[in-house]
Amino acid sequence: QRAVAALLELFGDEGPLKQAAMHFRWNFAEQEAFLKHEFGVATGLEGPALERAMKRFAGSLPVLGVSPEISQGVEASYWRFIRALDEHLAAGHAFLLGDAPCAGDFGLIGPLYAHLLRDPVPGFLLRTRFPRVAQYVERVMGADQVYQRPAVNGAGWLPDDAIPSTLIPLVAQALEEHWPVLQSTLHAVVQRTRAPGADLTKELPRAVGSGEFVIGGCTGRRAFFAFDAWKLQRLVDKLDATSRAWLGSVFGPRGSELAALDMRSHICLEKRPGPNRASTIYVVPSNSSASNTVQNRGGVHPGKTLVEQSKL
């Protein structure tokens, strides 16, 4: 359960759901008056200064992989996820893992509430097409006046570390669309840190590389971020033998690749306090520098360093 919660948290925080949030916020003219008002209230800016601030935010879309060429794919990915989440809720689950929220719920709620429910265009679509999901978003935010949380006497996540069958499509989509991006991100981090002359006393840059990715059947380009690699490390740290076996048996090659990843044997990342504009991600000495075995998309390759792998 903790592994699934971490995987869906990462999908919401840094994955395709974040791309959908940015697409719906900035690519619809009907949003303009709302955004000017909200940004003006939040920043105290007005006039040309407000316009410049909004332009900076909108200018980040290509870096995140949100471009006109793949807008159809972003929307297809989003509605696929929402339909699967709706079916999960229709089965009687108040949250992802039962009657109490988990890290996955809170990861999803960032884009689902702040962008996709509050903003007028995606909010109207979500409330009218999938009211059950809209109510779930309000429930996680503590604003659902209908839901009565069960008493604390044992109510919470499903017993025996069980994963609801209705979560399988959500996890499958996360592995299909986000796992390849995380692999490319990790590979970019390793290339940078193993390059000749790399200064590992300095923090990694926010963007460590860029490359192609696929979302909703469309191919685009995006940056790869050091923060995402650190979040992947947090996910891998939660994978015990049982969860690794489950991933491999249920989700085929992609599940097996994630299950086989022993990230800290090759690179260890640490997040330190610092300004928001910096990555605040540092490389620290690995717990085990003896092993050169590397997991990549093709499997396990003994005797090769991470830099020698072109597709980690």
Region 131-136: mean pLDDT is: 97
pLDDT at 208 over 80: yes
- At residue 249, what is the residue type? S
Greater pLDDT, 293 or 209: 209
More confident residue, 182 or 293: 182
What values do phi and psi take at 301, rounded to 5? Answer: -120, 100
The pTM (predicted TM-score) of the whole model is 0.87
What are the residues whose beta carbons fall under 8 Å from the beta carbon of 259, sequence distance 6 or more? 239, 243, 244, 245, 247, 248
Residue 6 near residue 104, CB atoms below 8 Å? yes
The pLDDT confidence band at residue 290, using thresholds 50, 70 and 90, is very low
Say yes or no to pLDDT of 293 above 50.
no
Q: What percent of the chain lies above the pLDDT cut of 70?
A: 87
Does 306 have pLDDT greater than 60? no
Please give the residue that has the higher pLDDT: either 234 or 148. Answer: 234
SS3 225: strand
249-255 mean pLDDT: 96
pLDDT of residue 152: 44
Length of the chain: 312
Picking from 24-38, 220-234, 252-266, 284-298, which range would have the lowest pLDDT averaged per residue?
284-298
Q: Is residue 109 pLDDT above 90, yes or no? A: yes
Which of 5-14, 139-148, 293-302 shows the lowest mean pLDDT across its residues? 293-302
What pLDDT does residue 311 have? 31
- pLDDT tens digits for range 47-89: 999 999 999 989 999 999 999 999 999 999 999 999 999 999 9
Mean pLDDT, the chain, as a whole number? Answer: 87
Specify the pLDDT at position 145: 56
Is residue 276 very low, low, confident or very high in pLDDT (cuts 50, 70, 90)? confident
Task: Provide the CA 60 distance to its chain's centre, in angstroms.
Answer: 17
Q: Burial, 118: exposed, middle or buried (Cβ in 10 Å; 0-12, 13-18, 19+)? A: middle
Higher-confidence position of 226 and 297: 226
pLDDT-derived band of residue 279, with 50, 70 and 90 as boundaries? confident
Q: What is the pLDDT of residues 1-10, one digit of tens each?
A: 999 999 999 9
As a whole number of angstroms, the distance between CA 212 and CA 194 comes to 22
- pLDDT of 301 over the 70 cut: no
pLDDT of residue 296: 35
Q: Which two tokens stand for residue 184?
A: 């490319």
Q: Which residues contact 35 (CB under 8 A, 6 or more apart)?
A: 25, 26, 54, 119
End-to-end CA distance of the chain: 26
Quick one: tokens of 29? 């003219």
Helix (H) or strand (E) holding 237: helix 226-237
Whether the pLDDT of residue 300 is over 90: the answer is no
Contacts of 220 (CB under 8 A, 6+ apart): 65, 67, 69, 70, 73, 212, 213, 214
Q: Please list, in sequence order, all residues whose beta carbon lies within 8 angstroms of the beta carbon of residue 159, skipping any fewer than 6 positions away.
A: none
Q: For residue 241, what pLDDT is reported?
A: 95
Please determine, for residue 198, whether its predicted confidence score (pLDDT) is greater than 80: yes
